Amino acid sequence: MKYSATADNIWRFGDATPGGMPWARRARNDVLVHADGGAALEGEARACYLGLDFLAALAAWERAYAAYRAEGDPVEAVRMARTLAGMHGQIRSDAAVMSGWLARGRRCS
């Protein structure tokens, strides 16, 4: 079964209830993510994150950041940069990359 690639659909299927992790994996595998829009890519990142695939989530958030910049949406780009900074600090323990994302966020605003 294929679902539309909207952030809301991906988020709903990746619901973080106790039995929700299989839904996150299924959403990630089943959703058509042909769109390069920021919202669709962010939804893919959320599904990966809820499925505990943190490196794939980071990659999707980075693509979402680039898409939001290309769409001319600085507010969403700053939010993605802030998310990426926190995730690089927490997941990868990489303070240099975290600082770089914080700097990118400041430049967007």
Q: Could you tell me the domains of the chain?
A: 7-108 (1.25.40)
Amino acid at 25: R
Distance of CA 2 to the CA centre of its chain: 20
pLDDT digits 0-9 by tens, 49-79 = 999 999 999 999 999 999 999 999 999 999 9
pTM for this model (two decimals): 0.68
DSSP calls for 40-76: HHHHHHHHHHHTT-HHHHHHHHHHHHHHHHHHT-HHH
pLDDT, mean of residues 19-36: 52
- Per the prediction, the chain carries an average pLDDT of 77
CA neighbours within 13 Å on the CB side: how many for 103?
A: 6
Amino acid at 99: S
Per the CB < 8 A criterion, the answer to whether 37 and 66 are in contact is no
